[in-house]
Amino acid sequence: MADVALQPRTAKRQIREATAWDQLRTNRNWLGFWFMLPAMAFLIFFLAYPLGLGVWISFTDAKIGRPGEYIGIENYEWLWGDSIFWLSVFNTLLYTFIASAIKFAIGLYLALLLNENMPFKAMLRALVLIPFIVPTVLSALAFWWIFDSQFSIISWSLKQIGLITENINFLGDVTWARICVIFANIWRGVPFVAITLLAGLQTVQPSLYEAATLDGASKWEMFRFITYPLLTPIIAVVMTFSVLFTFTDFQLIWAMTRGGPVNATHLMATLSYQRAIIAGQLGEGAAISSAMIPFLLAAIMVSWFGLQRRKWQQGENND
Amino acid sequence: MHDFTRRSLLQGGTALAAAGALTGPALFDFAKAWAQSAPWKAEKGAKLTVMRWKRFVPAEDDAFNAMVAAFKAATGTEMNVFSESFEDVQPKASVAANTGSGLDLAWGLHTLPQLFPTQVLQMNDVADYLGKKYGGWTDAAAVTCKQGNNWLGIPVATIGGYMTYRKSSVEKAGFKDFPKDFPGFLEMCKALKKNNTPAGFPLGHASGDANAWLHWILWGHGAYTVDKDNKVIINSPETVKALEYCKALSDTFIPGVASWNDSSNNKAFLAGELHCTANGISIYVAAKDDPNKKELTEDTYHALWPVGPIGKPTELQLCVPILAFKFTKYPNAAKAFVAFMLEKENYDKWLSGARGYLTHTLNAYDNSPVWTADPKNQVFSQASKRALPASGIGTPGEKAATAIADFLVVDMFANYCTGREDAKGAIAVTERQLKRIYR
C-alpha cells in the first residue's frame, strides 16, 4: 500500500513543468542574464541614472540645496534666446572641430614617423606620451603662465629678440584666447591619437608592404591603398573619443580662462558649471549639459555607423 | 580638519604674541571666565562642526584656531573646523541645509544666510547681545544678515577692498593726493598711462575684484540692477553713463585686463608693472613680507574709492557672515561660539592677525589696534561702513548672489569696453538675464 501510495506522487514529480527558478538555475539564456546582471546594475546606477537625473533636473527650477519644481521646457526656451549660450555652442563646435582635426593630422604624422625604423625609437615614443601623463590642471596652469598677459615667456622672448615692443595680449584678446586654448588642447590630445594610431599601424602585416614594393608602389600609394584602409576602424574609434573628449573639455578652459575674455572661450561644459554650481541655477546648468547630448550622440553615430558598414571586419566585403 | 595639538596651539600663540595679543594661558583664562558668565551655556558633550572660507592671511588662521581651541577648553565643546575655498562654501552649506546634517556652523560669503532662511538658527539674541555691548552693527552688515527683524546669521567681518597705488607714480602724474571723485580719477589714470605707469582693474571673471570695482562704477552713477522692490532697472540712462565712463577708464589700463582673475592684479602690482588697482590689503601685506620689496612697500599706499556723480560712497565690499543650522543638536554651544568669536578679547587679536584683511562690523572696534598699528591699514577700517550690500538698493539674498556669481554686471561692462557690444546690446543681454533671475 505504501508503494502504491507513493507511485502517483513520483509520477507527478516526473512530469512537473520546470519552474521559473529551475529555468533561472539551468537555462543557458538565464545563466547569461545572471552574468550580465552586475554589468547591467553598474551601467544603470552609475551611468544611466545620473544621466537621467541630469535630464530630469533640466526640466525643473532646481537650485543648489533645493530640488525645485517641474517647469517643463522653460529652461530650454530660455536658453534658445540666450546669446551667451549660443556663443558657448559656437565656441564648443569651433574648439572641437579645429582641435580634433589638427590633433588627428599631427597624431597620424607622428604615428607614421614612430612606426619607421629609426634610432632611439623607444625613447621617442615615450617622449610623445609626456603631455598625456601631466595632469590636465597642471598643464593648464603652465599654459596660463605661458600665455599670461603680463608675464608670458613668449612675449618676453620676442621682446628680448626685438621682434615686438609690447606684450602680446594672449588671453585678453578674443582671437588670441581661442587660439591659445585650442593650442593647449592639441598639445594635450596629440599623444592619445598618436599612440593609438601607432598601435593600429603595428597590426598591419609587413608582407603587404613588401608585396606593394615589389609591385612598384610609391610611399603615397602604400599609404592610400594599404595603411589608410586598414587603419580606418582605429581612426574611427580614435576620432570618436577625441571628439568626445574635446567637446566635453572643462578643466583646461576653466583653469586657463574661466570662459573669458567676454565669454569668448566659454564652452558648453564651462558655462554649465558656471550657471549650475557657481551661480546656483542647477536646472539651467543641467539644461546646458543636456543640450550637449544631441551633439555627442551625433558624433558617436557617425563613428558607429561608419564601423557597422565595414562588414569586412566580420569577414565580408565592404559595402 | 584641524586637530588642536599642543604644538599647533603653541604655533598659533607665537604668531599672536607677535601681534601683541591675548595669548596662551591668558586666553584660556579669559575663555573660562567668559564661559562661566555667558548667556549661552554649551550643552554637555556638545560637538560642533564648523566650515569656514580658506584664509588668505596665515596669521588670521592662527588667530582663529587659537580662539577655537580656547573655546573648546573653556566649554568642553568638541570643535571640528575645516576650510573650503570661497566658491565651495556656498554649495556645501546648501547641501547641509538640504540634507539636514553634516554641519553645525558655516562661515561664508555675503548672502549665505539668505539662501535658506528656513534652515538657519535665528541669532536675534546673539546679535542683540553683541550689538548692545559693542556699539551697534554697521548698516551693510545688518542688512546682509537680517530678514525683517530676524537675524539669520552674524556678520563676523567684511573683507575690504580699496585703491592700492604707487605714491610716486600718482605724484608724477600730477596728483598730490589720490583723486576723490570720478572725473579726477579718470584724469589720473590717463596721466598714469601717459607716464607708462598704468592703472589696471580686472574685466575678466574675477569673482571678488571685478565685481567690486564694476559695481562701484555702476552704483556711483546712480544705476542699479534692481530697485528696492527688486524690479529690474538696469536699462537706464545712468547705466549708459556708467558704461561710457568705464570705457574711457579702461582705455587707460595696462593691456590684458580682460583676462584677469583675482590674483592677476596682485602679481602685476608686485612685479612693478601696475601702479594703481583695487584690492584687499593682501598686495601690501605680501610686499611687506618680502624683504626684497622694501622700496615697493614704502611706495605703496591705499585710498578710498573715489565718489561718483551721486555724491556718496558706492562700494561693494565682501561681508562674511557666519550662520548656525536649525538642525544643530547644540544650538547653545553654536550661539556661544559665535558670541565668543566677537568678544573684544578675541576679536581684536583676530583683526590684528588678519592685518587689515578683515574689517570689523561692530562699531566699537573702530579703534582696534590693527587700524593704528600701520597708518596704511587705516583706510580698510571703513569698509563695513561705506559698503552697500551685494544687492545694491535691492533685497539681499539668493537672487542678488546669483546675479553676482554669474558675472552679469562684469560681462556687461566687459562687452562694452572691449567693443564686443554697443551700450544698447550690452544692457539688453544683462537685462534679459536679470529678469530671468528676478522672475
Question: Could you tell me which of B117, B112, B190, B105 has the C-alpha nearest to residue B148?
Answer: B117
How far is B394 from B389, CA to CA, in rounded Å? Answer: 9
The whole-model pTM stands at: 0.86
Amino acid at B331: P
Chain B: residues touching A (Cβ < 8 Å): 87, 90-91, 93-95, 97-98, 115-116, 203-205, 254-261, 264, 267-268, 271, 273-274, 398, 401-402, 405-407, 411, 414-415, 418, 420, 429, 432-433, 436-437
Residue A12 has a pLDDT of 54
* Best to test chain B binding among A85, A170, A262, A263 (most B CBs inside 10 Å): A262
Q: Tell me: the pLDDT tens digits for B220-241? A: 999 999 999 999 999 999 999 9
Q: Do B90 and A64 make contact, defined as CB atoms within 8 angstroms? A: yes
pLDDT, residue A310, reads 60
Predicted ipTM of the assembly: 0.85
Extract the C-alpha cell encoding B414: 566687459
- Distance (Å, whole) CA A87 – CA A95: 12
A260 and B415 within 8 Å at the Cβ level: the answer is: no
Q: How confident is the model at residue A74 (pLDDT cuts 50, 70, 90)?
A: very high
Instruction: Give the phi and the psi of residue B383 in degrees, each rounded to 5.
Output: -55, -45
Contact between B266 and B282 under an 8 Å Cβ cutoff? The reply is yes
CA dist., res. B359 & res. A149, Å (int): 32
Q: Do B256 and A166 touch (CB under 8 A)?
A: no
Q: What is the pLDDT of residue B371?
A: 93
- Output the average pLDDT for chain A: 87
What digits encode the pLDDT tens for the residues B402-433? 899 899 999 999 999 999 999 999 999 999 99
Can you give the pLDDT at residue A8?
54
Q: Are A310 and A230 in contact (CB under 8 A)?
A: no
**How close B317 gets to chain A, by Cα (Å)?**
19
d(CA B188, CA B276): 10
DSSP string computed for B406-420: TTHHHHHHHHHHTTS
Nearest C-alpha in A relative to B437: A281
pLDDT at position B95 over 70: yes
Given a cut of 80, whether residue A238 has pLDDT beyond it is yes
> For B62-90, how does the pLDDT look when each residue is reduced to its tens digit (9 = 90+)?
889 999 999 999 999 999 999 998 778 88
Of B115, B259, B271, the CB nearest to A177: B259
3-state helix, strand, coil in chain A (%, to 5): 75, 0, 25
**pLDDT at site A136:** 84
On whether any CB of chain B is under 8 Å from the CB of A177, the answer is: yes
Chain A residues near residue B418 by CB distance under 8 angstroms: 174, 261-262
Cell numbers for A135, please give them.
Answer: 595632469
How does DSSP classify residue A226? I
Q: How far is CA B112 from CA A281, A283, A309, B259, in A?
A: 15, 20, 56, 28
pLDDT in tens, A2-21: 444 455 555 555 667 777 77
Torsion of CA B238, B240, B246, B249, to 10 degrees: -100
pLDDT at A280 over 90: no
Chain A positions touching B271 (Cβ under 8 A) are: 150-151
- Residue B114: pLDDT over 60: yes
Mean pLDDT of the A37-43 span: 93
Contact between B259 and A172 using a beta-carbon 8 Å cutoff: yes
A169 vs B: CB within 8 A: yes
Contacts of A259 in chain B (CB under 8 A): 205
| C-beta atoms of B414 and A262 within 8 A | yes
**Tell me, what's the pLDDT at B29?**
86
Residue A152 forms contact with B (CB below 8 Å): no
CB B323 within 8 A of CB B152: yes
CA distances from B119 to A285, B101, B113, B398 (A): 24, 11, 9, 14
In three-state secondary structure terms, A60 is: strand
pLDDT-derived band at B22, boundaries 50, 70, 90: low
Spatial distance between the Cα atoms of A267 and A94, rounded to a whole number of angstroms: 10
The answer to whether A167 and A155 are in contact (CB under 8 A) is: yes
Separation CA A246–CA A231 (nearest Å): 22
Nearest-Cα distance to chain A for B114, in Å, is 13
Please tell me the predicted confidence (pLDDT) of residue A20.
76
Spatial separation of the C-alpha atoms in residues B83 and B54, rounded to whole Å: 5
A273 to chain B: which residues are within 8 Å by CB? none
The answer to whether B405 contacts A150, with C-beta atoms less than 8 Å apart, is no
CB atoms within 10 A of CB B64: 24
The reported pLDDT for the residue numbered B216 is 97
Of the candidates A167, A262, A279, the beta carbon closest to that of B255 is on A167
What pLDDT band is residue B122 in, cutting at 50, 70 and 90?
very high
Task: Give the dihedral of Cα atoms B351, B352, B354, B355; nearest 10 deg.
Answer: 120
Find residue A224's DSSP bridge partners: none
Q: What is the mean pLDDT of residues A270-285?
A: 91
How many A×B Cβ pairs under 8 Å? Answer: 110
CA separation (Å) from A135 to A130, A139, A140, A141, B318?
10, 6, 9, 10, 33
DSSP assignment string, B327-372: T-S-HHHHHHHHHHHTSHHHHHHHHHHHTTSEE-SBGGGGG-HHHH
Those residues whose C-beta lies under 8 Å from the C-beta of residue B376, and which sit 6 or more positions away, are B284, B300, B301, B302
Contact B87 A278 (CB under 8 A): yes
Interface test with B, best of A278, A281, A284 (most B CBs within 10 A): A278
